[in-house]
C-alpha cells in the first residue's frame, strides 16, 4: 500500500468504490477503460542483455536493471488490473549511448526489427495469456472491443519506436517498419542523429548536445516526417528541442503526439514543452501524454530529491494544468515511460498499480468517471483510431 498524503486520498476513494489499491478491476468495474499507455518499455531489460554490449558486459545490464530501471511492468498483474493498451517503445539504449552523438548506425534498422521480434516472441510465449499484438488500427479496435469479463480478453500491444536513429539514416527503412505495423516513431532521442536536435532531458550526458541545441529539424528530418505521414505512422515529438518542435509543427500536415512529456511551466527542463507548443499540438488534433516521472514533472533539485518526495500528486498537478491551459481534457493522455530507466513516484512503482493514479484523478475531477476514462485511455485510443494507418 502506498504511503503519504496522496496515498491517503487514493485509499479513501478506493474504499468508497470497493477497489483495492493494486487491482482496479473490482466487481462492477470490469468494463471500464483503465489505461491506454502511450509509452512503456516492455522488453528493454531483455533486449539490453542480447545486444553486443550486454553480451560482452553482462554486469552492465544487471546494474542497469537493478539500480537504474526502477519501475516495473508485469504482464499478469497488468492484465488483472484491466489495462487496455500498451505502446511498446523500442530503443537500442546501449548502442545509442556508446556511439554518442555521431552518424546513425547502419545496423540500427536490423537492431530495430530484432527488438520487435523479441516482443513478438514474448507475446507468443510467456505473455500469451495476457496480451496480443495489434498490427493496425482495425486489429486494435477488435482487441479493445472484447469485454474484460470475457476469458479471451487480452491487453492490446502495439509497436512504437523511440528515436529516428533507428532508421540508420536511410529513408527506405521506414516502409518495412510501416508494413510491420509500427504505430508511431519518436523523431529524436538522447542525441542528434541527423533528424532533429534533442533536448538535454536527463543528466546522463548533460553536455552531449551542446553543439546542436538550435539545429532544429534537418532536411533529412523533414523527409522522414513527410514519409511517415504518407505511410500512416504518427510522429512523436518527445525529446525534441524547442527549436525542433517549432520546425516540426511548421512542416507537419497531420496530428502529432508527445507520448511522454510535461509542461515546462511546471518542470523547467529542456525536455518539457512550452505552452504554445502544447496548444498548437492540441489545435492540430494531437495528444499530450503525461509522463509518470516526478523529476520531469516538477522542479526537484535532484533526481534523488524527486525519488524521495515525488508522488502521483505531481502527475495530477500536471494533468490539472494542461486541462486549464487547453480548456478541455480531450487532448491529454498518459505515457508512463515505465521500465524505461526512470524512478517512478514513491506511491507507484509498478504499472499494475495504475488504479492509484485513477483514484487521485477521480478526486481531482469530482468523481467524474467520463473525464478520467478519457484521460487515462479513451483520448489515446481515439488518436490511434483516427491517425494510425500503417500495417494495413
Return the CATH fold of 5-387: TIM Barrel (3.20.20)
Whose cell is 535532484? That residue is: 302
- Is the pLDDT at 316 greater than 90? The verdict is yes
List the chain domain ranges. 5-387
332-389 confidence digits (pLDDT tens): 999 999 999 899 999 999 999 999 999 999 999 999 999 999 999 999 999 999 999 9
pLDDT per residue over 123-172, tens digit each? Answer: 999 999 999 999 999 999 999 999 999 999 999 999 999 999 899 899 99
pTM for this entry: 0.91
Confidence band of 4 (pLDDT split at 50, 70, 90): very low
Whether the predicted pLDDT of 318 surpasses 50: yes
Provide the pLDDT for residue 35. 98
Predicted local confidence at residue 17, as pLDDT: 37
At 49-70, the pLDDT tens digits run: 888 778 888 887 888 787 778 8
Mean per-residue pLDDT over the chain, rounded: 88
Q: Is the pLDDT of residue 289 over 60?
A: yes
Amino acid at each position: 500500500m502506498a504511503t503519504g498524503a496522496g496515498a491517503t486520498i487514493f485509499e479513501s476513494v478506493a474504499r468508497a468504490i470497493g477497489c483495492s489499491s493494486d487491482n482496479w478491476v473490482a466487481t462492477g468495474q470490469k468494463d471500464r477503460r483503465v489505461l491506454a499507455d502511450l509509452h512503456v518499455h516492455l522488453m528493454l531489460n531483455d533486449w539490453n542483455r542480447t545486444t553486443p554490449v550486454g553480451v560482452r558486459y553482462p554486469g552492465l545490464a544487471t546494474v542497469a536493471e537493478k539500480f537504474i530501471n526502477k519501475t516495473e511492468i508485469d504482464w499478469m498483474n497488468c492484465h488483472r488490473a484491466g489495462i487496455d493498451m500498451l505502446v511498446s517503445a523500442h530503443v537500442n539504449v546501449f548502442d545509442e549511448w556508446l556511439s554518442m552523438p555521431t552518424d546513425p548506425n547502419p545496423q540500427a534498422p536490423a537492431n530495430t526489427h530484432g527488438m520487435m521480434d523479441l516482443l513478438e516472441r514474448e507475446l507468443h510465449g510467456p505473455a500469451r495469456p495476457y496480451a496480443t499484438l495489434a498490427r493496425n488500427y482495425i486489429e486494435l479496435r477488435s482487441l479493445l472491443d472484447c469485454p474484460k469479463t470475457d476469458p479471451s480478453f487480452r491487453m492490446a500491444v502495439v509497436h512504437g519506436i523511440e528515436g529516428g536513429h533507428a532508421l540508420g539514416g536511410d529513408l527506405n527503412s521506414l516502409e518495412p517498419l510501416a508494413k510491420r505495423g509500427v504505430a508511431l516513431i519518436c523523431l529524436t532521442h538522447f542525441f542528434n542523429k541527423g533528424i532533429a536536435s534533442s533536448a538535454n532531458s536527463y543528466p546522463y550526458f548533460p553536455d552531449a548536445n551542446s553543439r546542436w541545441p538550435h539545429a532544429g529539424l534537418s532536411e533529412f528530418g523533414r523527409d522522414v516526417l513527410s514519409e511517415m505521414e504518407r505511410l500512416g505512422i504518427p510522429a512523436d515529438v518527445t525529446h525534441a528541442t524547442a527549436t525542433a518542435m517549432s520546425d516540426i509543427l511548421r512542416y507537419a500536415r497531420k496530428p502529432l503526439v508527445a507520448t511522454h512529456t510535461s509542461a515546462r511551466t511546471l518542470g523547467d527542463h529542456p525536455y518539457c514543452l512550452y505552452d504554445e507548443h502544447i496548444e498548437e499540438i492540441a489545435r492540430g488534433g494531437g495528444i499530450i501524454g503525461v509522463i509518470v516521472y516526478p523529476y520531469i514533472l516538477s522542479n526537484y533539485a535532484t533526481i534523488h530529491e524527486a525519488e524521495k518526495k515525488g508522488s502521483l500528486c505531481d502527475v495530477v498537478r500536471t494533468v490539472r494544468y494542461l486541462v486549464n491551459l487547453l480548456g478541455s481534457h480531450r487532448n491529454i493522455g498518459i505515457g508512463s515511460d515505465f521500465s524505461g530507466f526512470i524512478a517512478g513516484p514513491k506511491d507507484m512503482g509498478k504499472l499494475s498499480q495504475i488504479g492509484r493514479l485513477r483514484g487521485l484523478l477521480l478526486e481531482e475531477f469530482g468523481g467524474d468517471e467520463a473525464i478520467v476514462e478519457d484521460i487515462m485511455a479513451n483520448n489515446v485510443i481515439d488518436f490511434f483510431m483516427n491517425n494510425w494507418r500503417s500495417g494495413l
